[in-house]
Structure 1
Amino acid sequence: MEERSILQVGGSIEKALKGEYSIDVKGVLHEAWRLTNKSRSSINLGLFISLLIGVLVTLLVASYVGGVDVLFQEQQGQQEPQAGALLNILVTIVVYPFLVGVEMMGIFHAVGLQTHVKLIFAFLKRGSWVAICALLSSTMVALGVTMFYLPGIYLAVALSLVLPLVVEKKMSPLKAISLSLQVTRFQWFHLFAIYLVLFIALILCVLPLVLLATTSVALLGGVFTLFALSYLAPMFYNVKGILYREIFGMHLSVSKDASDHFDSTFSA
């Protein structure tokens, strides 16, 4: 009969609540880059499918309100923003249950598991909770941004890991948000430093596209940006996976066969 045991990888909620974890900024970035070089196709494919779903939702909303130009005018403040608000809510509700699968890919990579693009469909049964959590956290960040930006920046960093808590730890949205706010305060500046490096990298990726947009080599700038983002996007989710592992940890179900080789699988 196959022997199985539960292995705790990384931190734990109990330790995190006491601040008993550390974040090495340089170490996290180096490990994320190594993981990205090793495997990035599943994350890129998952993001591409999520993007297509978002575009489909946008087109459906546009057809309902009278066309894409109406949405564009509202985004520019030329009309009342009801349709734009509806679009943001619907995109969040529909896309995030798939996007959380991409976040879980980064966590799986961080604990040494392989991933496949079909993982974006694996957590749809928790989709309603994910959507509610995404709406609550994004609303909190948006309100924080209106208060001189700094509260919004703080909340964006502090709530960056809430969605995996809903699916991997099976928490309610309010509990996940509360827990994330409690534990991230201990290493907030280290978390901010990591995200700041990634944000600067994003600017450098997009810069050639902006600078060359009106030149004869605009296509070259676009190709460079897409190529760079094909590395930066997976690295972003691998970074989040490493941070989740170090702060909250993850349970793995480990089986041992007769030849003493171990096979690890996810067990929420």
Structure 2
Amino acid sequence: MNKQQLSNALHVGGTLENALSGNYNLSASSVVQEAVKLTQKHFWQFLPATVVLTIAHILIFLVALTIMNGTPYSVMEAFIGKQQMTPDLMASARIAVFAATVLSAPLYAGASLMGLSHAIGFRTKPRHIIKGLAYALAVTLAMSFINALQSFSSQLIPLLGIFLGITFSMTILLICEKRLRPVEAMIVSFRAIIKKLIPLTLVYIVIAILFVFSYATAGLALVWALPFMFNVKGVLYREMFGVGIEVTVSQEGDDDSSSDDGNKEVFNA
């Protein structure tokens, strides 16, 4: 039996050049509507991955608090008002949040890639959460830079920290999909997003409302909010920067007949 493989590279969505020039269309309502449909379609496959990310984040947070305070309970009791929140406890809480965010960055990258896969029509499996480990060093460095800048700027002007969070929001996907270096990805994300800041801010306001609602429901709404957030980012990235896809068609047989099972589409991220 002879086997023949034909490969073609496709590009879906915008381009890096158009994103940097602001030459792309972006409707906040369309992005939110598409993300809702994607979340409904892929909810049960995506939920385990976001649960893994959440558990990893919480565990790192608790371990960091334990290392600094001997126990995580003192900070928790201060947050719920059972004891006074001292400057030392507040500082340890901030460091723990920073550590959890930075050290869970590879899993965050994996979830982001899953959202991007959904946005270009691919299904995912829970194990795809570990795809971000291939970019562990780069995404961890990027997350360190972003969180340090946000933390410092928030001390000066609270809204500045939010602004930086929005403008750097495409950094992780740019590292994974476009293979940019951390600082380069941050600059590209900032330059592209600043061109369409108003519609992008509206999208992130919707995400923020969902997370506030999640806190009001003791975190229960996070089971929807987290997958939704990553799907939103996937749709935004596709529209802004575009995604490269490799399509491989395999044909087997001497009679030039082909089987549908031989067709395989691969998203190389």
What displacement does 1:85 show? 4.7
Equivalent residue in structure 1 for 2:71, among 60, 67, 73: 67
Distance 1:266 1:84 in 2: 39
User: Equivalent residue for 1:217?
Assistant: none
- Aligned residue for 1:122, secondary structure, equals helix
User: Equivalent residue for 2:266?
Assistant: 265
Spell out, residue by residue over 1:96-149, the C-alpha distance to the aligned partner (whole angstroms, 9 max, x if none): 111111111110000001111111212213111111101111222222322332
User: Equivalent residue for 1:29?
Assistant: 32
User: Equivalent residue for 1:183?
Assistant: 192
Aligned pair in 2 of structure 1 residues 255, 177: CA closer, same or farther (>3 Å)? same
Q: Give the letter aligned to residue 168 of structure 2.
A: L
Equivalent residue in structure 2 for 1:140, among 149, 154, 159: 149
Equivalent residue in structure 2 for 1:87, among 96, 101, 118: 96
Query: 8 Å contact 2:75–2:89 — kept in the other structure?
Result: no
Two-structure CA RMSD over aligned residues (Å): 2.3
What displacement does 1:47 show? 1.8
Over 6 Å off, 4+ runs: none
Distance 1:189 1:107 in 2: 22
Q: Give the letter aligned to residue 133 of structure 2.
A: L
What displacement does 1:70 show? 4.3
What displacement does 1:182 show? 0.9
Spell out, residue by residue over 1:1-35, the C-alpha distance to the aligned partner (whole angstroms, 9 max, x if none): 11110000111111111211111111111111111
What displacement does 1:256 show? 2.8
User: Equivalent residue for 2:168?
Assistant: 159
Distance 1:74 1:201 in 2: 25
Q: TM-score, normalised to structure 2's length? A: 0.84
Distance 2:95 2:61 in 1: 10
Distance 2:128 2:17 in 1: 28
Spell out, residue by residue over 1:181-228, the C-alpha distance to the aligned partner (whole angstroms, 9 max, x if none): 111111111000111122223334544x3xxxxxxxxxxxx5xx62x4
What displacement does 1:179 show? 0.5
Q: TM-score, normalised to structure 1's length? A: 0.85
1:46 has 2:52 as partner: no
Aligned pair in 2 of structure 1 residues 265, 85: CA closer, same or farther (>3 Å)? same
User: Equivalent residue for 1:219?
Assistant: none
Aligned pair in 2 of structure 1 residues 53, 205: CA closer, same or farther (>3 Å)? closer
User: Equivalent residue for 1:13?
Assistant: 16
Distance 1:174 1:38 in 2: 34
Distance 1:174 1:87 in 2: 24
1:250 has 2:243 as partner: yes
Moved more, 142-151 or 8-17: 142-151
Spell out, residue by residue over 1:36-83, the C-alpha distance to the aligned partner (whole angstroms, 9 max, x if none): 111112332112112222233234334433111344478733426564
Distance 1:90 1:229 in 2: 21
User: Equivalent residue for 2:137?
Assistant: 128
Q: Give the letter aligned to residue 9 of structure 2.
A: I
Distance 1:84 1:202 in 2: 20
Percent identity between the two aligned chains? 25
Aligned pair in 2 of structure 1 residues 77, 43: CA closer, same or farther (>3 Å)? farther
Moved more, 45-54 or 143-152: 143-152
Q: Give the letter aligned to residue 267 of structure 2.
A: F
Moved more, 228-237 or 24-33: 228-237
